[in-house]
Amino acid sequence: MNADAPPLTLASLLKQARGQLAAPREVNLLVCHALGLSLAALYAHPDKPVEAAAAQRSLALIRRRALGEPVAYITGEREFYGLALAVTPAVLIPRPETELLVELALERLPAGSESRVLDLGTGSGAIAVAIAHARPRARIFAVDRSPAALAVARGNACRHGLDNVAFVEGDWLAPFAGERFDLIVSNPPYVAAGDPHLEQGDLRFEPTLALPSGADGLDDLRRIVAAAPHHLRSGGWLLLEHGAEQQPAVLDLLATQAFIRCTGHRDLANLLRAVSAVRAKPPPQTGTAP
């Protein structure tokens, strides 16, 4: 470094970083992560000197983001429903719209509830952990077919001191033969195979098991809707997230099974994002649940 060059400060580091990544919020978050600073400290002390090694760590993270890597994978963390969760490339990054499923579940699980709840395709454990944290007397079962995802989910439950979540490796409802639940919730894969969005943005880096689901994106939703009546108590709830254009099709699927009160819900962006339904009659006895 040139001895006559002015000392590197937070302000000058931010200027360099913003020259490489035109997203000020992400720049601030990544620099704070690299330096171990809060946003308040970043804003309050712009003239604070920064060591060269620390600056290089910050700029390395900025370059990773400039190449498209999701911020959550770079920092290893994402907030969901007010809880800090660890995330890795083994799991889908939790998104704000999925908080709608948690809200819908908590509305149906009164405080003090000892209900049995099943989270299908738990991934990072975001939904299961959020429900378990808000309803400590409920018993949550979180299933995923990915051992790597389950390891992340278990870590998140431990991080928040939760002992009311059980993690199960398996394919959807297959591990729960003969078991019944008060509520089943899922954010399954629902992107159509070949959808161009799979080659864009953060989706390029996320696990393929968590995204595409057949030609129309409904294959996994079909499996869940067909199997769920065999695992819900009478009056039990099924809550599902889906794509913004898929709600009519998902409501039609529910209507073919043992469900009533099939209702669509919008997320905070006013997009059709989830459905809820009640199991009101015994499921068909013929055939085998998927």
Parse the chain into domains and list their residue ranges: 10-67, 91-279
More confident residue, 83 or 258: 83
Alpha helices in the chain (DSSP H): 10-20, 24-35, 39-44, 52-66, 71-75, 99-108, 126-134, 147-159, 219-227, 247-255
CA–CA dist 11, 18 (Å, integer):
11
Q: In the chain, what is the straight-line distance between the N-terminal and C-terminal CA atoms, in Å? A: 64
Residue appearing with tokens 């159509």: 192
For residue 145, the SS3 value is coil
The values of phi and psi at residue 241, to 5°, are -90, 155
Domain at 91-279, CATH from 3.90.580.10, 3.40.50.720, 3.30.750.24, 3.40.50.150: 3.40.50.150
Q: What is the pLDDT of residue 162?
A: 98
Percentage of the chain lying above the pLDDT 70 cut: 94
Predicted confidence (pLDDT) per residue in 227-285, tens digit: 999 999 999 999 999 999 999 999 999 999 989 999 999 998 999 999 999 998 665 55
Structure pTM? 0.90
Calculate helix-pair angle for 99-108, 126-134, nearest 10 degrees: 40
